[in-house]
Structure formats: C-alpha cells, structure tokens
Structure 1
Amino acid sequence: MTDNSQVLATVIAKNRSDSEARAARDHRHDVWFRRTVRAAAMIVLGLLACIAGSTLWGGAQAFHTFGLDFFTSTDWDAVGERFGAVVPIYGTLVTSFLALLIAVPVSFGIAIFLTEVAPPWMRMPIASAIELLAGIPSIIYGMWGLFVFAPFMAEHLTPWINDNLGAIPVIGALFQGPPLGIGTLTAAIVLAIMIIPFITSVMNEVFRTVPTQLKESAYALGGTTWEVVWDIVLPYTRSAVVGGVFLGLGRALGETMAVTFVLGNAHQLSASLLMPSSSIASVIANEFSEAYTDLHRSSLIALGFLLFVVTFIVLAIARIMLMRLSRNEGVK
C-alpha cells in the first residue's frame, strides 16, 4: 500500500507540475499574442497620426497665410496666389452625397433581388457581375464617363432635365444649365455606378445572415415579400447596412481619377448640378505636378488635410450611428 501511495503521489505531483508548466506556457503565449495584436493596432493608429500630421505640416503655410479665409473663400488663382477651399469642398460633398442618393436604392434593390426574389440559377451570374464591377479600375470609369456617358448626357439627358425640371419653382435652379455633358450631376452618376458594387456586396452578405426561420415564420403569417424585407430583414441587419452605406460614402469622398475626367475641374461655385465644378481630389491630381510656388503646393496639401478631416468626420458619424443602433437593439 505504501508503494502504491508513493507512486500515486508521484503521478499526481508530476501531473500538477505539467499542468502548472502548461499554464505558464499558455499565459506567456497569450501575453505575447496580446502584445503582438496591440502593436498591430498601434501601427494603424500611428500611420493615421503620421498622415494627418504630415498633411497638416505641409499645409501650414497656406493656413498661416490665409487663415480662416482659406475655408470661406471661393478664389483659386495660382497666378495671383489666392487660394480658397470652398469650391473643392462643396464639389466633393455634393457629388458624394448625390452618388449615395442614387446608389443606395439601386444597391438595396439588387441585394433584395439576389436574396429574396431571384431564382438560384440567376444569383451567381449577377453576383459575379457585381464583383467584376468592383474590380474595374477607377480610370476606366473615368474614360467611359468622358467618352461615352458625357456625350450621351449632353445630347439626351441634360436638355430633358433642363426643359422639364429647370422650370420647377425653388429647386429649378439645380437643373438649369447648358448641355455640356460634364458637370456635378455627371460625376455623381459615375460615382454612383462605382460605389454600387461595394454597397450591394455588403447588403447581400448581411441579408444572407438573417435566419431562415424568421423569414419563413413571417411568410407563414401571411406577410408579403416587401413586409418580410421591411419588418424582418432590415431591422435584423440595419447596423451592417448603415456601415455598408457609409463605406460607399467613404469610397466616393476619396475618388480621384473618375471624378477628374467628368467633373469639369472649374473653380466656380454654382447651384446648378449641370455646371462644371471641382473636388478636392481632382484639384490635387490636376495641379500638384504643376505647382511651382511653395504657397500653391502648401494649399494643395492643405486640401488633402481637409479631405482627411472630412472623411474622418463622416466615418466617425457612421461609427456613432452604429453604436447607437447597437445600443437600441440591446435595449429591445
């Protein structure tokens, strides 16, 4: 009995020692894993801070020279060295939000069709076409917009818009202008075509996460497809849908080449959506290589900093909205 007790005690002590060694090793690995992923996150924050700081430093001369006038002036005169950011900011925001107004309903319809209406044999070709659109370079969209869509816009759409919508009180000024083809509305439509694949892909994936039992229960109670989508699918996925929409908006705010081709690149502030304008990205792309003075270069870098700030604000608003939606869902 004594020998058996000693053997058992030895085995127990060895198992305890192995368990303690394993626990220490697992703790050590866990500590290194946390430090590694924390370092990766800090790298992202560091890069973000470096980008913001470098653009702010590069635009310091413009901010110091013009002060608040840089944010309120519509002037952009490279010869006279008078620069203001109102027109590029206005063009960036208007084209992006117009693109969002066009793209969101279309993306929602495509995603609902793929998940709720389309027969199985049709879903794969349409989904593949959407992914193909997402992979097309932006310069291809810009060339298509300039050489194909802009002439079509000038010949057919712009005259119709001017004649039928330009006479409407209050909002008619938005749709009055010469049939140039290029302009704010053209850029917004091209941007909408570019961001539709991104928003559609997000919506399509999140709509597929809705439990089948919920939808089948709604159909069993007599709900129509629209009622199931509106009362079941959207409430279940609204946080992800909002995130997808703002992802598309962030994509539209920073677009450069496509907008440069079709926006017109005119430094003029006009209420008409048919008139040429400029955006922050297009101004930088067009003029940075030709900026021959320090103040001109500093003004362009300052525009880059403003684009960074605008994008950050938009994404911050998206994050706040998602947090509020998640909190409300938790309350319910």
Structure 2
Amino acid sequence: MKPTFLYRLLAAALAAALIGCVALPQGGAGYVRSSALPAPPDPVDNPTTPEKAALGKQLFFDPRLSGDGSMACQGCHYRSLGWTDALPLSRKVGGGMNTRHTPSVYNTGYYTSWYWDGRARTLEAQVNAAWKAQIGADPAKAAAVIAAVPGYQVEFRKVFGSAPDADNITKALAAFLRTLNSGEAPWDRHAAGDQAAVSADALAGYELFVGKAGCATCHQPPLYSDSQFHNIGLEAGKANPDPGRYGVTKDPQDRSAFKTPTLRSVGISGPYFHDGSVADLEQAVRYMASGGKADASKSALLVDRKLSDQEIRQLVAFLHTLTSEEHFEAPALP
C-alpha cells in the first residue's frame, strides 16, 4: 500500500504525538489524538489567521453569497449534524438536488483532494466551485453584494487591505474551513487516559475496527480516512451508475470509486455513503461488514467479515465515541 497523505503529513510529528498515548485495550495499536495533529497546511498565498478565519466564518453563514440571497454555505453543513445536512442528496439553491450526499467538512484542511470524486485539487478550488454550483452564485456579482455591506468593507480592509472581491472571499472561506477540525471526542479522552470515557462495548468495537472487521485499513485514525478512492459496490445494478473517480481520471480501475469519508462524528452525520442510500449507522456497518454488493470493479478490501450481531453493535458503539464535542457558536453578520 502506498504511503497515505496522513502519514506524509505526520511524518515529523507522529513520534512526539505517540509519547502521550496510553495503552489501548488488548494491546491495540498506538493512537494519535486529533488534538495532537499539527495545524492543517496553508497554501503560500493564503495563510490562515484568526481574523481571516473569523471573516470566513461570517461569510460561510451569510446567504447573501448565494445567487438569490436565500442560501448560505452553512445551509448544507450543520455543526449539529457533523457538518452535513441529514439529507440523502445535497440540495442546490432554488430547490434542486444534486446526485451525491453532502460530505462532512470536518478536518477538510488536511486532505489533498476534495469532493467525492476528488476533482478539486485545492480547498480554494472546491470553495469556488461550490459557491457557483451549490448556491448558484456568480462570484463577481455576489462579491459586489458583500462589498456594499459597510461592516464587510471594514473587515476586508483589515484582513486583506482591499475591498471584498471573489478571490479574497474564496480565501476567507477556505481559511475558516481549515479551522473546522474535530475536537476532543470520548475516544480521544480515552486515549488521553480517561478510562471512564467509553463503554466496554466501545472498547471491544475498537479492537474489531483495527482487527477482524478491517475498518482501519481505509478509515485510518486519527482522521478516519485514507483520502483514497474505493468502489464499495453501491452502484452495482443501477441503470445509470455514478462513475465516481473514473469521471476525473478515466482510469477503468476507478469506476464508481469514491473518496473514503471521515468517520469523525459519523454517529450524527447520516444518511450514509456517497449516495445517501443508507439511513441508519448500524445498517451502514452491516453493509460494509458483509462485503457489500457484487461488482466486478469492487475493491478487494471489501469482503464478508462474518461479524455477529453483537460485534456489529460493538462497532457501532465505538463509532459513536468519535462524535466531537467542541463548543461552536454561529457568528453575528454585519
């Protein structure tokens, strides 16, 4: 297996982070807490500052960025839902629907590609594309609306030294997104030594996660994603299957392969999978543990793990301990 983005990112910090780890049940592998991660890398032309991120937070919640003034970026990403929206398919301004489920934006600054198919190569590119496609904006026109707000005029001049425009709006939004890193969840507290933070079932579920169930092969802690693309069989039998990563690479091996989603706050971010086709977390675990549907292009990693009902419940118990509990407040808008 090729080294993943996460291992490259943590190469310098991993040894130090592991010093503070506690022994996990039954000699489980060392665990890096989310709070031990270095800050997400910034592009040279868009360093994150507290002031820029605060401005981006306001813009993220401001419906005036959309084409008709009715829908903010936040309209598809709710903190209480793990930064998703509880809908099978994401919606567009005007009531239209997309063909894929809203992905969580937790820890998005650590990744090297964005969208389910990885077509965006920078976070700024993803922000700009979603601004136009999801909330129906002409960025130049939306920037003019924002520039007409006196409060924004002041804030943009403080942060960028210039009036609002499409480029610096995009940069502010990306800077905010790079701050949406998963906070301390019960499992992180357990890793820090709090033996009362999780249940016995969750402890058993972790052992299954990194062992018999094989989950950690793709959902690698601490972000619980390998940032790679896998076909898990969900498109099998559909009249018009979603091409997934193949639509970007044209590599036949990428047919209906989708980016591994993070499992951070997965207990509150249903429905599940790229098509939002599974409403319940236990059902999602059962699908994966059973090896999924037959598909010639399906990943060889997806096989029947022959888990008992009790083991399924233990896995679900563990996954619920990954729900972040950080405090978050919506901003006041100028």
- TM-score tier (shorter): under 0.3
Rg (Cα) greater in structure:
1
* Larger relative contact order (CA 8 Å, sep ≥ 6): 1
Structure showing the higher helix proportion among its residues: 1
